[in-house]
């Protein structure tokens, strides 16, 4: 396990963007797999295409968005621990609503949803998902911004997001 951690840290230092994007996509697809198998009970009719959608979306949107957002916050607020509350306020007031609406829309689009279906999905899911977000992420992020070194923050988010992605995967597949 220690060897795996050292390898991850070496990759993170050498290729931060790629490492964070691949970590994000991998943990997103794992969240979907957990949702399918343990929440939805789909052991026999497991949908590998659905899991691939999560990996794809993590690669093209979520990973790059997180990396860009964290770099932007560091540039705006600086690296001081004293800015942790400002970062949480920006993260939860600006990034979370925009990210979640884009996540809902993007996953519905990748599932083949038409524009009216995408709008309906956002209308149906956005508020409940945002409320659930506010029950989890502010506490995680205050610890993350106050205690965790910058280069490991996306990993903390990704590990926490394994459970969050399981919820999002389940929620995004719920029909009207």
86 C-beta neighbours (distance < 10 Å), count:
15
CA distances from 27 to 55, 83, 93, 158, 168 (A): 8, 28, 24, 7, 12
Among 104, 17, 10, 7, CA closest to 63: 17
pTM for the full predicted model? 0.86
Q: What is the arithmetic mean of pLDDT over 47-68?
A: 95
Among 163, 160, 2, 130, CA closest to 66: 160
Going from N- to C-terminal start, the domains of the chain cover: 2-173
pLDDT digits (tens, 9 = 90+) for 7-31: 988 988 999 999 989 999 999 999 8
pLDDT digits (tens, 9 = 90+) for 37-56: 988 888 889 999 999 999 99
pLDDT digits (tens, 9 = 90+) for 103-161: 999 999 999 999 999 999 999 999 999 999 999 999 999 999 999 998 889 889 888 98
The encoded tokens of residue 136 equal 């989890």
CB pairs under 8 A, 24+ apart, for 148-156? Answer: 150/70, 150/74, 150/79, 151/12, 151/13, 151/16, 152/12, 153/70, 154/20, 154/23, 154/24, 154/66, 154/67, 154/70, 155/8, 155/12, 155/20, 155/23
* pLDDT for 159: 86
Among 102, 72, 100, CA closest to 86: 72
């Amino acid at each position: 396990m220690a060897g795996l951690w050292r390898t991850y840290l070496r990759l993170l230092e050498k290729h931060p963007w790629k490492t964070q994007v691949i970590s994000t996509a991998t943990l997103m697809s794992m969240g979907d797999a957990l949702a399918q198998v343990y929440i939805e009970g789909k052991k026999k009719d497991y949908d590998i295409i659905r899991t691939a959608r999560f990996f794809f979306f993590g690669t093209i949107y979520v990973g790059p968005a997180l990396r860009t957002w964290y770099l932007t916050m560091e540039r705006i607020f600086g690296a001081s621990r004293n800015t942790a509350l400002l970062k949480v306020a920006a993260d939860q007031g600006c990034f979370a609503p925009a990210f979640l609406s884009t996540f809902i829309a993007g996953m519905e689009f990748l599932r083949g949803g038409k524009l009216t279906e995408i709008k309906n999905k956002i209308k149906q899911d956005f508020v409940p998902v945002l409320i659930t977000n506010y029950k989890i992420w502010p506490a995680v992020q205050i610890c993350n911004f106050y205690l965790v070194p910058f280069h490991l923050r996306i990993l903390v988010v990704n590990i926490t997001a394994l459970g969050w992605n399981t919820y999002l995967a389940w929620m995004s597949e719920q029909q009207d």
